[in-house]
Amino acid sequence: MKQRMPLLITILLLGYAFLYGPIISLIVYSFNESRLVTVWGGFSTKWYAELMQNSQLLGAAWLSVRVAALTATIAVVLGTLAALALVRFRRFRGRGSLEVMVTAPLVMPEVIIGLSLLLLFVAMETTIGWPAGRGMTTIVIAHTTFAMAYVTVVVQSRLAHMDMSLEEAALDLGARPLKVFFTITLPIIAPALVAGWLLAFTLSLDDLVVASFVSGPGATTLPMVVYSSIRLGVSPEINALATIIVAIVSVAVLITGLLLWRQEKRKTERLP
């Protein structure tokens, strides 16, 4: 085992270089005075300043954040229900179809999800008059539909690893089922709910294809703006935006990682 360690370390180093090289290049060039990628024109923060003045981009970002927050919240509720159904109820009518319907969106190409939902919304509008026009509501519905599948997977694995006798103990001690759910089950699966929420938020914030299909004239999300400016050519403002996103994500991940690590350490220390 020992003599293979250098090989494994090399593989990991190469792999991480591949993953992080492009992101690092974005960060570096976001501080480049020059518009050209190959030319280093000196350190500058002017692209950040321009980004802050781009009202179209900022407006789209605000819409995206609102859509993502709403999506994540609904997806956590629906995904948790689906996970509860799949883990706790062994047999019920529609189990097979529910299983398929929560797995399929994980791999379903976005173009299909986007187009099919658009056709549904158009048909619904002509028959029942809702949703009237397309915009934030339709984007939230569409995003929730694929994001809840991810939440289900995350919550499902946490529920499956939860000791069932914890709930039984609470029932035995006189708590009614609803109370058991809120005082025992929910706090224990809370980390999975948080992880699921963040995942759904990111997926929604990141989505270009589905939003392009189901959004209307007034609702342009951040990825739609980014996409059209990328199509026009390399724009250093996008570098600045990328750097900000990477910074936010790294800080968030670092904090959760640190918390997880400390929790893990506390646990192992106390064990006999």
Identify residues 59-88 at the interface with another protein (CB under 8 A): 78-79, 81-82, 84-85, 88
Binding to another protein, residues 122-151 (CB under 8 A) = 122-123, 126, 141-142, 144-145, 148
CB-nearer residue toward another protein: 132 or 231: 231
CB-based contacts of 79: which residues, under 8 Å, 6+ apart?
147, 148, 149, 150, 151, 152, 154, 155, 196, 200
CB of 29 to another protein, least distance (A): 7
Q: Exactly one of 250, 251, 255, 259 binds another protein (CB under 8 A); which one?
A: 250
What's the farthest any 2 CA atoms get from each other in the chain?
71
CB-based contacts of 32: which residues, under 8 Å, 6+ apart?
39, 40, 41, 42, 43, 44, 236, 239
**Measured distance CA(191)–CA(197) in Å, rounded:** 10
In the block, which residue shows the tokens 């397309």?
A: 134
Contact pattern from residue 207 through residue 246 relative to another protein, giving x for each residue in contact according to CB under 8 A and a dash for the rest = -xx--xx---------x--xx--xx--x---xx-xx--xx
CB-nearer residue toward another protein: 55 or 172: 172
Q: Exactly one of 41, 133, 187, 218 binds another protein (CB under 8 A); which one?
A: 187
Q: Exactly one of 8, 17, 49, 52 binds another protein (CB under 8 A); which one?
A: 8
Number of residues that bind another protein (CB under 8 A): 115
In the block, which residue shows the tokens 């690590």?
A: 261
CB of 94 to another protein, least distance (A): 6
- Residue 92 as a binder of another protein (CB under 8 A): the answer is yes
**Measured distance CA(16)–CA(227) in Å, rounded:** 26
Nearest CA to 153 out of 113, 104, 202, 97 is that of 104
